[in-house]
Structure 1
Amino acid sequence: MSAPPRPSHYSQGPLFAVAPMIDWTDRRCRFFHRLLAPDALLYTEMIVADAVLHGDRERLLGFDAAEHPLALQLGGSDPAKLAEAARIAEGFGYDEINLNVGCPSDRVQSGAFGACLMLQPALVGECLAAMRDAVSIPVTVKCRIGVDEQDPEAALDALADAAAEAGVSAIWVHARKAWLQGLSPKENRDIPPLDYGRVHRLKARMPGMFIGLNGGLTSVRMAAEQLPGLDGVMMGRGAYGNPSDLAEVGPLIHGRPAQPVDYPALLSQTVDYAAAHMARGGRLAQVTRHMVGLFQGQPGARRWRQILSERAGRPDATPDLILEAFSHVELAPPTAENAA
Structure 2
Amino acid sequence: MSGARRRHCLRCLLVAFCCALGGAVAAEPLRLLFVGDIMLDDGPGRLVAAGADPLAPFAALLRDADYRIGNLECPVATTGTPLANKIATFRAHPRVLPLLAGRFDALAVANNHSGDYGREAFVETLDLLASQGITAFGGGRNLEQAHRPLWIERRGLRIAVLAYNEFKPRSFEAGPDWPGIAWSEDSHVVADIRAARAAGADLVIPFMHWGWEREPQASARQRQLARLMIDAGADLVVGGHAHVTQGVEYYRGRLIVYSLGNFVFDGFDYAAARSGWVLRLTLDGSGLLAWDTVTARIDDDGTPQPLAGSTAPCGRRGDPLIRDCRWP
TM class, shorter-chain normalised?
0.3 to 0.5
Identify, as 1 or 2, the structure richer in strand. Answer: 2
Q: What TM-score does the superposition give when structure 2 sets the normalisation length?
A: 0.41
Structure number with greater CO (CA < 8 Å, separation at least 6) is 2
Q: What TM-score does the superposition give when structure 1 sets the normalisation length?
A: 0.40
